[in-house]
A and B are shown apart, each in its own frame.
Chain A
Amino acid sequence: MGEIKWERDFNIAVDKAKKTGKPIYHDFWFDG
C-alpha cells in the first residue's frame, strides 16, 4: 500500500462522495 491519495478541494471531494456513496474523511492540519 502506498500513500493515501488525498483530495484537496472540498467540493471535488463531495462530488466523489456522491458518486461513490462513501463518506469523507477530512483532516484539518497545520504545518507549523
Chain B
Amino acid sequence: MNAGPYSDEKVQKFVEEEFIPLKSQCFWDKRTELMKKFDIIWTPTLLIHDSEGKEHYRFVGYVPIDDFLAHLKLGKGKVFFNHYRHVEAIAQFKAVIEQHPNAGVTPEAIFFLGVAEYRKTHDAKALRRAYDTLTSKYPQSEWARRAQPYSQIAL
C-alpha cells in the first residue's frame, strides 16, 4: 500500500505531519460517488483539500520524490493562498523554491510567491521580483511568460 512515493521516508513524514492522508479506490466499471464528485478520469489523481473538504490543488500521476514533495508544498501553499493566509502561503512557496529548485512546479511557486507578497504588502515590486527571478532562472518556463506584464513595474 505504501509503494511508490510512499515508500520514501521524507514523503511519509511530510504527508503524516502536514496532512490528513486519505485514499480512495477507483472502479472504472462502477464509478464511485467520490470519483463523480471530483471528476476523476485517470489515476493516480492526487488532490489537496482544505479542512472543509474543498479542493484547491490537483496533479495527475506519481512523479519523482523531489517533484512529489514540491507538489505537496505548493498545494498546501495554494490552500493558504486561497484563504488569504498570506504569511503561511509565502512560507510554503519559499519552501518549494529553496528546497526543490529543480522541481517542475518551482517556477509556479515563484510566480505565486510574488502574487502572495503583493497581496500581503500591496507593493507591486514583489511582482517585478518574481518576473526577474523567473526570467533569470527559468526563462523557458510558461510562468516566465505569464509574468511578462510585471516587467514594466519599476523597482
Contacts and interface: CB of A to CB of B under 8 A. Distances in A.
B22 A1 contact: no
Given A1-B9, A25-B18, 15 more contacts: A1-B12, A3-B2, A3-B6, A4-B2, A17-B49, A20-B20, A23-B48, A23-B49, A26-B22, A26-B23, A26-B38, A26-B49, A27-B23, A28-B24, A29-B25
Interface in B16-38: 16, 18-26, 28, 34-35, 38
Given A1-B9, A4-B15, A6-B1, A29 B24 contact: yes
Given A1-B13, A7-B21, A27 B46 contact: yes
B38 to A, nearest CB: 7
A8 to B, nearest CB: 6
B149 interface: no
Interface size class of B (residues with CB under 8 A): 35 or more
Interface residues of A, number: 27
B21 A14 contact: no
Nearest to A17: B51
Interface of B: 1-2, 6, 9, 12-13, 15-16, 18-26, 28, 34-35, 38, 40, 43-53, 56, 72, 75-76, 79
B26 A25 contact: no
Specify which of A5, A7, A22, A26 lies most central, judged by the most chain B CB atoms within 10 Å of its CB. Answer: A26
Given A1-B9, A5-B16, A17-B20, A25 B50 contact: no
Contacts of A29: 23-26, 43-44
Contacts of B24: 8, 10, 26-29
A10 B34 contact: yes
Contacts of B12: 1-4
A32 B29 CA distance: 12
